[in-house]
Amino acid sequence: MTLIKSISGIRGTIGGSAGDNLTPIDAVTYAAAYGTWIKQQREKTNYKVVVGRDARISGPMIQELVMQTLIGMGINVVDLELSTTPTVEVAVPMEHADGGIILTASHNPKQWNALKLLNAKGEFLDAAAGQEILDIASNQDFDFAAVDDLGEINKNQAYMDLHIDEILDLDLVDAEAIKKAGFKVVVDGVNSSGGVAVPLLLDRLGVQTVKLFCEPTGHFPHNPEPLKEHLGDIMKAVIDERADFGIVVDPDVDRLAFISEDGSMFGEEYTLVAVADYILSRVPGNTVSNLSSSRALRDITEKHGGQYFASAVGEVNVVTMMKEKNAVIGGEGNGGIIYPELHYGRDSLVGIALFLTHLAYQTKTVSELRASYPSYFMSKKKIQLTPELDVDGILAGIHSKYAAENPSTIDGVKIDFADSWVHLRKSNTEPIIRIYTEAPSAEAADALADRFIGELSELAGL
């Protein structure tokens, strides 16, 4: 079992021994560290933190531990209960809160959970803040409140609707055009928060919705990472229902993938490409994605006269560069849409609304829209790590071997070849090395990934 402590929060598997897994002791420790950090940011008499969770089975337990720890530190809590990651991000500034915590392990299986930490802007913490919290947790330097100074918990279940209100108020979301188009859509909510939030949004937009796995039980019906190999049910349902397309989200609704009307994958990489194409056609500007994202975004951006920039992997890195480059749209190729007009966070709900508007203005089917974009194919594979492996040494070996290709070391090792690329990096959320490749065909992308799996295994002595 596993506990991963990083600058972006704490993530682990439920059960087992403290310090090695995400146990109640670990949840309390890191909630207290975060609460301590919140109080260090500025001295005031009334602190407030927004807390929400996805539908994981462990969610209510972890959330109670976290909230009770915060009120024990004299911090008031706004309890959103079942929510989405972007909804919590939107709620923090709307509540004028000092921060937020989302209890979710995103795309990880049900045995995982995590504390994802936000600042007062509703954005993920930067590296410096994250390290401060790790240091506080390590030193156990906590100061709890006296009995007359305990915080309070106030429940507020309105924020999914308020989040949707904010989306519908955006200039580039055309609800009337969407309603007029008369779309029929299948939604796979992976039995988590998206099963509630996505149909709420679609109902407001006049979209006929067929629900698949939309009961927020936390019993994920398939691997919750929205990849082709996990999505056979919705691919079949889109065809059987004669739907215009399918929508797939991960458990906390910050990753978004589409299924075309013929049951084929639109491609999670192309979620951002399609939304960017629409945004850039209305508001010229720059775009940002991470190093593991498709070249197609670069091509679309340049077609519209903008500049494309690549950041290190991680939402906070993308957001930082988006602000630096004044990007009008950005995100990550895993289906994460960041639209600054709403907020600086990956948001499947705003992605759905913008995609529906784009599609409503077209005379194309979803598969025809996909075919209109530059054609690249990605392979996403991984190697499981063991504690004794010198991962940095292995990646250094790859860098040395391909020195003539001028590989990037901004985040792991990325090697750009003439018509393809490979990106190798340690995961921030799992004990693995991720191998991402892109090439002109699926077969070439898979072959390139398999080649580097072999080279990594050889260097590791596996």
Question: Any idea which residues carry the catalytic annotation?
Answer: 106
* Cα–Cα distance measured from residue 161 to residue 167, given in angstroms and rounded to the nearest whole number: 10
First to last CA, the chain: 22
15 exposed, middle or buried (CB, 10 Å; 0-12, 13-18, 19+)?
exposed
The amino acid that residue 207 corresponds to is V
370 SS3 class: helix
* Cα–Cα distance measured from residue 305 to residue 37, given in angstroms and rounded to the nearest whole number: 43
Question: Does residue 159 contact residue 92 with C-beta atoms inside 8 Å?
Answer: no
Phi–psi pair at 96, nearest 5 degrees:
55, 40
Pairing of strands 47-53, 75-82: parallel
For Cα atoms 201, 207, 213, give the angle at the middle one, nearest 5 degrees. Answer: 65
* Cα–Cα distance measured from residue 201 to residue 356, given in angstroms and rounded to the nearest whole number: 11
* Cα–Cα distance measured from residue 190 to residue 223, given in angstroms and rounded to the nearest whole number: 9
User: H or E stretch including 21?
Assistant: none
H helix intervals, 305-441: 315-325, 348-360, 366-371, 391-401
The amino acid that residue 456 corresponds to is L
